[in-house]
Amino acid sequence: MLQSVRAAIEASFQQAQSSQNAPPVSNAPANFARASLNLEINPMLLGSTRAQTREDYIFLADCSFRAHRHEELLAHVRAFLTVMEQRRDLVKDERYFIAVAYKDTIRGIRDAWRKVKKTEVGEKDAFKLRVSCKYRGELEDKMRMVCTEGLKVSSGLLTNAAVSPETRLYFCKV
């Protein structure tokens, strides 16, 4: 179900890495991805091209979380989901980082949207109004994409037979 999204993530990794002459990311079987979700991952956000195991990406996600780098945290979670084994439950830290990555990224985009909307209200210059409207539209599109991706990932985790009832309950609450 979500295998094609993982394939899309891996393809974007491999495309970015081939342009940098770096070794490709592991070709483990897909798990939580859909082809309709065109994920673009900036490999520069991943911090290290050597990280290829789930533990590496969870460590990098923890570092990004502690530094309040939400875009990087989301990139590490996306990378973690690509290397995750197909039939394995998530531990507490993994569940937490998946939820926090999407929530914090959306919060940042939503805050930016509010500030742009606030500047639009009092703006009388037509050029500035057009630019801010266009930027607000881009923020809305990005927010819609991240929300859709988060819902697909959580629904994929809820429908996975290998996931424990505790994990299902966690993502139902999220």
Instruction: Please give the domain boundaries of the chain with CATH numbers for all domains.
Output: 2-173 (1.20.190.20)
Decide: helix, strand or coil at residue 168. helix
Q: Which residue has the higher pLDDT, 1 or 59?
A: 59
What confidence score (pLDDT) does residue 66 get? 92
Rounded Cα distance, 130 and 124, in Å: 11
Q: Which residue has the higher pLDDT, 41 or 54?
A: 54
Percentage with pLDDT > 70 across the chain: 65
Tell me the per-residue pLDDT of 51-67, one tens digit each, with 9 for 90 and over.
Answer: 677 788 888 889 999 99
Which of 13-17, 39-43, 62-66 has maximum average pLDDT? 62-66
Decide: helix, strand or coil at residue 7. helix
Q: What's the mean pLDDT when you consider all of the chain?
A: 74
CB of 17 closer than 8 Å to CB of 49: yes
pTM for the whole structure: 0.64
What confidence score (pLDDT) does residue 165 get? 78
What confidence score (pLDDT) does residue 51 get? 66
Rounded Cα distance, 166 and 91, in Å: 10
Rounded Cα distance, 174 and 160, in Å: 17
Other CB atoms within a 10 A radius of the CB of residue 143 amount to 17
| Token duo for residue 31 | 């798990």
Position 126 pLDDT exceeds 70: yes
Tell me the per-residue pLDDT of 90-118, one tens digit each, with 9 for 90 and over.
Answer: 788 888 888 899 999 999 999 999 999 99
Percentage with pLDDT > 90 across the chain: 26
